[in-house]
Amino acid sequence: MADDPFALFDAWYDEAKAAEINDPDAMALATTTPDGSPSVRMVLLKGHGPSGFTFYTNAGSRKGEQLTANPRAALLFHWKALRRQVRIEGTVEEVSADEADAYFATRSRDSQLGAWASDQSRPLDSRETFEARYEEAGRRFDGRDVPRPPHWTGFRVKPDRIEYWTDRPHRLHERRLFVRDGSGWTEGLLYP
């Protein structure tokens, strides 16, 4: 068995990028409210490696507030075309301002303007209000680069557990579990 869960993720992710028709980088992100109520939504993986799995969002969004209040999360990749899943659980940290700036600069201008226009997860009285805010952001930054809004950042899930699940006939699935052990990992199998 492999002893590096990140090398295995790289291999599986490369296969998913070739096999999945839509969004092989889509992952379910599970968080909890301060009182323990679960919440889950899809986000896009924007970086990964031994330091963790990174995505970007509005820090004032529901997920951003939940991650700030309880910096633990779970991720799930489901690659249906490959009949595989990867489950990740761990602590969460905010990325550096430099890292968030660098990623924000790679986004399309429309996405950058949308980050300024949206009060993500807040009630919206009408679509027209949002579109007007988007247009205003376009005028505000006309003719110049769009800077990263102060409320827009990235989060990195630093895994404590990574499970690799492979579908097998008759529900006799294969489950490989990596658990952080100091600076390394232990690996074992789980019953399906």
Quote the CA–CA distance of 4 and 109 in Å, as a whole number.
38
83 as an active site residue: the answer is no
Q: Whose structure tokens read 């090398």? A: 7
**Catalytic residue (choose from 72, 161, 171, 176):** 171
Stated as kind and residue range, the H or E segment containing 17 is helix 5-19
Quote the CA–CA distance of 115 and 102 in Å, as a whole number.
15
CA angle 151, 155, 160 (to 5 degrees): 155
Are 100 and 56 contacting, i.e. CB atoms less than 8 angstroms apart?
yes
On the 0-12 / 13-18 / 19+ scale of CB atoms within 10 A, 99 is: middle
Kindly list the catalytic residues. Answer: 171
